[in-house]
Amino acid sequence: MRAGKGSISRPRLPLPGCAPGSAGGGGAGAAGRAAVPVLLLLLHFFIFLLLVLVPLVATAGCPGFKFVLSYTFLTAIMRLVILEDYDQASEWAAKYICNRIIQFKPSQGRYFTLGLPTGSTPLGCYKKLIEYHKNGDLSFKYVKTFNMDEYVGLPRNHPESYHSYMWNNFFKHIDIDPNNAHILDGNAPDLQAECDAFEKKIEEAGGIDLFVGGIGPDGHIAFNEPGSSLSSRTRLKTLAMDTILANAKYFDGDLSKVPTMALTVGVGTVMDAREVMILITGAHKAFALYKAIEEGVNHMWTVSAFQQHPRTIFVCDEDATLELRVKTVKYFKGLMHVHNKLVDPLYSMKEN
C-alpha cells in the first residue's frame, strides 16, 4: 500500500549484510564497482609484462631463456611448417629435434625420450641428426627412443625389419646406448604381452617428450590404418591391402613375402606424448595433409586426430600442400618467421 497524505510511513530496515542507510546492498555494489578498475589495471599490467618486458629480457643476451620462451608460446597450438623441398623439411625437423634435446639438458637419471618412425620420409632427418652428432653438437648418450612399429614374423636381422632399418640408418652412427633404444619384438612368444610391456616401458621412462612420425597417403600413422580407434594403444594389427601393396617394393614385388601383420603403437599412445612432430612430404600425401589440416577429426584419417593435440607440428614440403586452400598456405607461410625461431641455433652439447 503506497503511503499517502496522513498515512504513517514505516521505516525501511537495512538488508542483511548492508550498512545502515544503504539501499538494498548499494554499498556492496559500489565497493564491487570500485574494485573493477583495480582488477583491470592488474590485468593490463600482467599483459604488459607478458608482451613487452619478457621478450625484452629474452632478447637481451639470454639464448636459453629465449628458446624456452619460444617453445612455450610458439608451440602451444597446432603448427604447419612449409618448406621448399624434402631436404629443407628434413633439415628443419632435425634442427628442431636437436634444439629440443639440447634445451632439455639430459643427464644421468634425466633422459630425453624420443619417439621415432621408419620409412623413407625420416631418412633425411636421420642423416642430419647423424651429421650434428659427428660434428660434436649433439649427443644421444642420455636419450631413450621408442619406435612406432615392427613387422610380425620377420627376423630381426632381415634387411626389411625395422630393427635393421634403425640400426643401419641411425643407431650405429650415434652414441646411443642400445639398451635405451626400444623397438617392438615381432617374434615375441606372446605378442599382446609384448605390447603391454612396451606401454609399461614408456610409462616408466616418464612418457614421450617428442614423438616424431610420418604418415601414409591414406593418413595412417605408424600402422594405425583407416578405421583405427583414435584412443588405441600398442597392439597387434592386421595390415590393410593398400599398405601391403605399398610395401611390396621392399620385398622384390612379391606379395607373398610381405608381412600381413605388425605390432604398432596406438593413436592414443602417440597422443600421450608431450609434443608431436609429423613429417609429410611429396604430392602423393597432399590429400592426407588436407584431411589433417582443413577437415575435422575422422577415424578414417587417423592423422587428423592430432588437431586435438596441444602441441603438434606438421612439417611438410611445397608438394604436400597442393590440396590445401591458397589462404591456408598463405596463412602458415606468413608465420614462418615465427616458426624459424623454434630452430634458431641455441648452443651445442660440446659447449657444456
From CA 298, how far away is CA 96, in angstroms rounded? 28
For residue 116, which amino acid is it? L
Check: CB of residue 317 under 8 Å from CB of residue 85: yes
| Distance between CA atoms of residues 59 and 163, nearest Å | 44
Name the catalytic one among 133, 163, 220, 309.
220
Indicate if 242 belongs to the active site: no
Q: Is 84 a catalytic residue?
A: no
17-37 pLDDT tens trace = 444 444 444 555 555 555 556
- The pLDDT of residue 243 is above 50: yes
218 pLDDT above the threshold of 90: yes
When pLDDT is averaged across residues 294-301 and rounded to a whole number, the result is 96
Q: Which residue has the higher pLDDT, 84 or 10?
A: 84
Residue 118 has a pLDDT of 96
Query: Mind listing the pLDDT tens digit for each residue in 103-161?
Result: 999 999 999 999 999 999 999 999 999 999 999 999 999 999 999 999 999 999 999 99
Q: Which domains does the chain have, with CATH numbers?
A: 43-74 (no CATH), 80-351 (3.40.50.1360)
Write down the mean pLDDT value for the chain.
Answer: 86
Grid cell locating 7? 498515512
Q: Model-level pTM?
A: 0.79
Examine the residue annotation and report whether 209 is marked as an active-site residue of this protein. no
Question: Out of 133, 137, 149, 163, which one is annotated catalytic?
Answer: 149
Give me the phi and psi of 145, to 5 degrees please.
Answer: -120, 150
Q: Which residue among 137, 194, 199, 225 is the active-site one?
A: 225
Q: Residue 75: what pLDDT?
A: 46
Active-site entry in 137, 199, 218, 318: 218
pLDDT tens for each residue of 56-74: 444 444 444 444 444 444 4
220: annotated active-site residue:
yes
- Provide the 3-class DSSP secondary structure of residue 122: coil
Which of 205, 214, 350 lies closest to 224 in space, CA to CA?
214
Rounded Cα distance between 160 and 250, Å, is: 7
